[in-house]
Every structure is written in C-alpha cells, then in structure tokens.
C-alpha cells in the first residue's frame, strides 16, 4: 500500500509531519504494510495535508488530513479508495488540477523529490540528453525561439541573456539561480525546489552547456530550510550519478553546483545586489551597465535567472521550442505558475497558459475569499505590484496587458483582500517596506521611502490633504524616475494604485461623514 504525504513546507505548517507519523503508527498497529512517500505538494494548498493513496495505479486524494483523522481513514478502508468525509476522489480529476496546464510543474507532487530514479522515470534528464547532442548556439536558439521570458518578474527574454553570455569571451563564466523569492504572495520557487529539485539542476546544467559556464550557484533565501535540504540532497544524487561534475554523462563537459544562503534581505532578489551578496558583501545594487551577462559575478560573464525560468528549460529542450511556444498569448509565451494567496478560499499553485483573466483565477480556481466577504482589492506581482479594484478583474494574465493598466504580473503572485481592507494602510505599508528593505545606495529610495510614510500619515490625518496628496504624487514620480533599481522604482505602484482606485480610504471617516452630511 503506497501512501503519499507531502513534505512541502506549507503542508508541514499545517501538520503534515504529525499526519505522516500518525499513518505509520496506525498502519503498524493494524499490521498493514505501507510504503510512505514524502512527495512535494500538488499545489491544492487549502487541502493540505493532502494524503494520497495509490489504488491500482490511480491516486486518490484525502484532505485536509490531521493526525486525529488517520484512524477514521483506516476504518473507512481508504487503502481501497473507499469514500470518506475527507475524500476528493482521484487527485488528477479534481477540477482545480484538471483545468491546469502543468509543464514546469509536471512532476511536482507526483514524484519523490529525493529520488533521481523517479525523476528519470517521469521524463527527467531528457532535456539534458538533447542538449548534450547540440552546439551551444543551437541550445540558445531553442530557448530564444520558445519565447521564454524571465519568470522572476522583469520578463526579459531568457534567450537574449544567454546569447550575450555565450558571445562574451571569458575563461570563467557563471550560472546563478535567483532563488531569493521574497515577494509576498509567491511560493512557486519554493514549491518547485522542494517538490522537484532535479528539474532546476537540469535547467541550470543546460544553461552551463549553452554558454560555456562551468560553475553554478543557487542563491536561496534562509526562510526556505526545506528547499535547502531538498536541493542539497538532489545535488549530491546528481553528482553521484554523473549529472554534475567534471564529466557530465561522459561528454567531457563540466558543471558544478552549490547552494548559497541569503540572510533576509529583500533587495537581494535584485540581480546585481544578489551578485554582491554572493561575493560576500552587503547586498547593494550595482549600476548598470555593465550588464551581469558581460560583467557579473566576480566581474565574469554570468547568466542570472529565476528558479522557474531555469526549470522551464528542460521541457523546452525535450519537447522543442515550438511545443512550449504554442501556449500563451501575444508576446507572453508558455505557461506561468500563478500563486493564489491571501484572503482566498482555495489558495494554491495554478500553472496555466498566459491569457486567463484575473477574475477566472480568483473565482473559478480560488472560489472567492476565505472570509466569505466580497474581494475588494487584489495585489498582483508582489509588494511592488499594483492594487487592482474589481473593475480590472477582467484583465488577461499577460505581461503587456498588466503593463497597460499600470500593473505588473511579476513573479505571478496574487494576493486577495476582502472588503475589510484599509487601502491607505496598505499604501503606507508599501512605503514602510521600501524603507526597511532599501539597500541605501540611491537617495530617492533611501530617503523617499521614509518621507513617503510621513506624507501618507499626514494625508490620512487630514492635514491639508490636497497639498499632501500633491506632495505624495510628486515624491512617487521622483522614486519612479530617480531610483537605481526596481525597489524604489516600483514602490509607487502599490501606493499610487491604492490612491487612484480607493481614494475614499485616504479620507478620515469623520471628515468623510461630515462632507457627506
């Protein structure tokens, strides 16, 4: 009897370890032999801990299963897939999962993330095998043709970055994975690293072959200890099997990989700041140019991409650029793993082709708010993303469509708020966050963020509001055009969108009612 209980951090946060221990103990008590597999999460996070049982090759889902539910499940004979109050039928047929197009997350939640054999049985390392038969320029051409754009947030075409590194001469080049997933509302990198670490390793190895880089680093945030354990186990397994090292699969090509830990600095998700941090310094942003592709880590040509970007490469190499490219809309090709978060009933990971609307995601997948109250505002793209009112919910999920409404898709995080939200407080928090996390290099961000908090405080207090609003807008313009990187440059997004779409929240209640009366 094969039972799956996720080891994903989100599942552990709601008791998956206790559930797993309960299952082992109960099986022993009843004399039933079981094989327990600690998989990644299927991404249906509101059902965690989601326990699956293999019944004749079909995986049946039960969730959320707490330790105290385990005896009842055995009583109901869940080993044969029998119904139970927590039963959801076959996992693959749950609409939330069935409606998705999982390319990058194809194996997450399905395989055992500690097993290289399992990875290979599910199509793993086929992309690398294809890449090993090609010239570097051809690999780069495939990535370019696939239309893959950086999934970290900036959406820069990956192929162009790789081509620059390939064509820049250098005795030593580097591949750096940005796994400093600091945006609130996002967890796709974490889920992928915990649930399918080999696909990231494979993607980075292909990047090494494509550009002539022989050393890779994964810069991982300290907040993800489970991901660290998963990656280090996978790197060791890959090295033992000759998928990493000085002679990859007998090709004579070398690629080494190491995990490096961040230390709680949001700014280190900015690529040049991340490189500074990897070099052992304060994570201060660098001036650009030179681009990291030309002078990156220790001044050497460096490919720096997000986790999901690298993890999307193996399927492109395996199935072809055209296969990947046919998903999506406009200039946004392929799929984007969206993350439904915040005040949402069915939060989780939804990997779909670009083009679905925000409303479909919030209601068809998300099932509306967790609190049951109306969804009033949605922040898309992390703490630097805009707050969108209900009137913008029909916007398709597409980089350009969101840019057109002064927003951004970013890393695909969607945070829903119900009608109890105070948007002036959210705007103030955006400035406060910028002040806490600013690297301090440029003045608009370092000083402007603190001044922004003060101006919003005066605006909310109703001290000469019209003037304060003018000052705030002017300050935001300075931040937008005068900051060195996206932290200062995009902090105005949440601030101005809150002000534009929810102006009533910036008016003191007493003044609002007296104005109305």
Partner 1 sequence: MSNQAPRRVIPIKVEPPSSLSAAERSTVLEACARLKKLPGALLPILHAVQEALRFVPKDAVPLIAQELNLSVAEVHGVVTFYHYFLSERPGRHVVHFCRAEACQALGSVALEAHAKASLGVDFHGTTRDGAITLEPVYCLGNCALGPSLMIDEQLHGRITPERFDALMTQSRERT
C-alpha 127: how far from chain center: 22
Candidates 118-126, 243-251, 273-281, 476-484 — which segment interacts with partner 1 by CB under 8 A? 273-281
- 190 neighbors 341 (Cβ within 8 angstroms): no
Of 63 and 147, nearer to partner 1 (C-beta) is 63
d(CA 515, CA 196): 57
- 104 neighbors 335 (Cβ within 8 angstroms): yes
Helices 465-482 and 492-501, interaxial angle, to 10°? Answer: 150
Of 131 and 192, nearer to partner 1 (C-beta) is 192
| 435 near partner 1, rule: CB under 8 A | no
Candidates 339-347, 449-457, 471-479, 508-516 — which segment interacts with partner 1 by CB under 8 A? 339-347
Q: Which residues pair with 90 in a beta bridge?
A: 60
First to last CA, the chain: 70
| Three-class DSSP category at 26 | helix
| Residue 206-235 contact track with partner 1, rule CB under 8 A, x = bound | ----------------xxxx----------
* Closest CB 8 distance from partner 1, rounded Å: 10
| 351 near partner 1, rule: CB under 8 A | no
Q: Which residues pair with 219 in a beta bridge?
A: 178, 260
Write out the binding residues for partner 1, residues 149-188 only, by CB under 8 A: 181-187
| 195 near partner 1, rule: CB under 8 A | no
Write out the binding residues for partner 1, residues 401-430 only, by CB under 8 A: 413, 415-418, 421, 425-426, 429
C-alpha 425: how far from chain center: 25
Q: Which of 487, 160, 153 is nearest to 306 (CA)?
A: 153
Write out the binding residues for partner 1, residues 88-127 only, by CB under 8 A: none
d(CA 431, CA 362): 27
Of 65 and 321, nearer to partner 1 (C-beta) is 65
* Closest CB 255 distance from partner 1, rounded Å: 16
d(CA 200, CA 104): 10
Of 199 and 421, nearer to partner 1 (C-beta) is 421
Q: Which of 381, 215, 208, 384 is nearest to 310 (CA)?
A: 208
Instruction: Choose which of 32, 92, 436, 470 interacts with partner 1 (CB under 8 A).
Output: 436
Q: Which of 311, 369, 303 is nearest to 337 (CA)?
A: 311
| 209 CB neighbour count, 10 Å cutoff | 23
Instruction: Choose which of 4, 162, 255, 266 interacts with partner 1 (CB under 8 A).
Output: 266
* Closest CB 45 distance from partner 1, rounded Å: 4
Instruction: Choose which of 52, 351, 398, 437 interacts with partner 1 (CB under 8 A).
Output: 437
Instruction: Choose which of 4, 6, 7, 9 interacts with partner 1 (CB under 8 A).
Output: 9
* Closest CB 390 distance from partner 1, rounded Å: 16
Could you tell me if residue 169 is left (phi over 0), alpha (psi between -120 and 50 degrees) or otherwise beta?
Answer: beta
d(CA 179, CA 174): 15
Candidates 6-14, 100-108, 448-456, 470-478 — which segment interacts with partner 1 by CB under 8 A? 6-14
Write out the binding residues for partner 1, residues 24-83 only, by CB under 8 A: 45-46, 48
Instruction: Choose which of 205, 272, 343, 392 interacts with partner 1 (CB under 8 A).
Output: 343
Core vs surface per residue 445-479: b (16+ CB within 10 A) or e: bbbbbbbbbebbeebbeeeebeebbebbeebbebb
* Closest CB 22 distance from partner 1, rounded Å: 18
C-alpha 185: how far from chain center: 8
Write out the binding residues for partner 1, residues 282-301 only, by CB under 8 A: 282-283, 298
Candidates 26-34, 82-90, 275-283, 328-336 — which segment interacts with partner 1 by CB under 8 A? 275-283
| 344 near partner 1, rule: CB under 8 A | yes
| 342 near partner 1, rule: CB under 8 A | yes
DSSP code, position 85: T
* Closest CB 266 distance from partner 1, rounded Å: 6
| Three-class DSSP category at 415 | strand
Sites of contact with partner 1 (CB under 8 A): 9-10, 12-14, 45-46, 48, 181-187, 189-190, 222-225, 260-266, 277-283, 298, 339-344, 347-348, 370, 379, 383, 413, 415-418, 421, 425-426, 429, 433, 436-437, 439
């Amino acid at each position: 009897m094969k039972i799956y209980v996720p080891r994903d951090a989100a599942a552990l946060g709601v008791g998956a370890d206790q559930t797993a221990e309960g299952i082992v103990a109960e099986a022993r008590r009843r004399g039933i032999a079981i094989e327990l597999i600690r998989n990644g999460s299927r991404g249906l996070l509101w059902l965690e801990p989601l326990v699956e049982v293999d019944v004749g090759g079909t995986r049946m889902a039960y969730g959320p299963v707490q330790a105290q539910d385990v005896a009842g499940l055995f009583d109901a004979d869940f080993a044969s897939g029998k119904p139970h109050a927590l039963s959801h039928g076959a996992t693959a047929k749950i609409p939330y999962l069935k409606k998705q197009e999982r390319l990058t997350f194809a194996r997450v939640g399905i395989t055992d993330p500690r097993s290289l054999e399992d990875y290979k049985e599910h199509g793993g390392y086929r992309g690398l095998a294809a890449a090993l038969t090609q010239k570097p320029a051809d690999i780069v051409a495939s990535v370019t043709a696939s239309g893959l754009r950086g999934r970290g947030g900036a959406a820069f075409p990956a192929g162009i970055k790789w081509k620059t590194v390939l064509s820049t001469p250098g005795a030593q080049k580097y591949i750096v994975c940005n796994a400093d997933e600091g945006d609130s509302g996002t967890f796709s990198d974490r889920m992928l690293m915990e649930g399918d670490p080999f696909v990231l390793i494979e993607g980075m190895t292909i990047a090494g072959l494509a550009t002539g880089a022989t050393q890779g680093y994964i810069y991982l945030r300290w907040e993800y200890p489970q991901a660290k354990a998963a990656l280090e186990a996978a790197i060791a397994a890959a090295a033992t099997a000759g998928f990493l090292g000085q002679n990859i699969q007998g090709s004579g090509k070398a690629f080494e990989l190491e995990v490096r830990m961040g230390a709680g600095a949001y700014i280190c998700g900015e690529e040049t700041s991340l490189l500074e941090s990897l070099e052992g310094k304060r994570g201060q942003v660098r001036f650009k140019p030179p681009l990291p592709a030309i002078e990156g880590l220790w001044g050497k040509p460096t490919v720096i991409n997000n986790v999901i970007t690298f993890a999307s490469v193996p399927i492109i190499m395996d199935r072809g650029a055209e296969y990947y490219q046919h998903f999506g809309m406009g200039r946004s090709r392929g799929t984007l793993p969206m993350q439904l978060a915040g005040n949402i009933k069915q939060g989780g990971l939804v990997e779909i082709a670009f083009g679905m609307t925000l409303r479909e995601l919030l209601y068809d997948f998300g099932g509306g708010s967790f609190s049951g109250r109306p969804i009033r505002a949605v922040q898309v793209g992390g703490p630097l993303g805009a707050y969108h009112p209900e009137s913008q919910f029909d916007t398709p999920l597409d980089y350009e469509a969101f840019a057109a409404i002064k927003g951004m898709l970013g890393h695909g995080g969607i945070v829903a708020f119900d009608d109890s939200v105070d948007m002036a407080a959210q705007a103030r928090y955006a400035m406060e966050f910028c002040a806490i996390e600013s690297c301090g290099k440029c003045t608009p961000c370092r000083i402007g963020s603190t001044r922004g908090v003060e101006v919003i405080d005066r605006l909310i207090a109703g001290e000469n509001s019209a003037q304060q609003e003018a000052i705030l807008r002017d300050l935001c313009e300075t931040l937008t055009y005068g900051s060195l990187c996206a932290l200062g440059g995009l902090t105005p997004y949440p601030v101005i969108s809150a002000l534009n779409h929810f102006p009533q929240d910036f008016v003191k209640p007493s003044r609002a009612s007296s104005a109305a009366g």
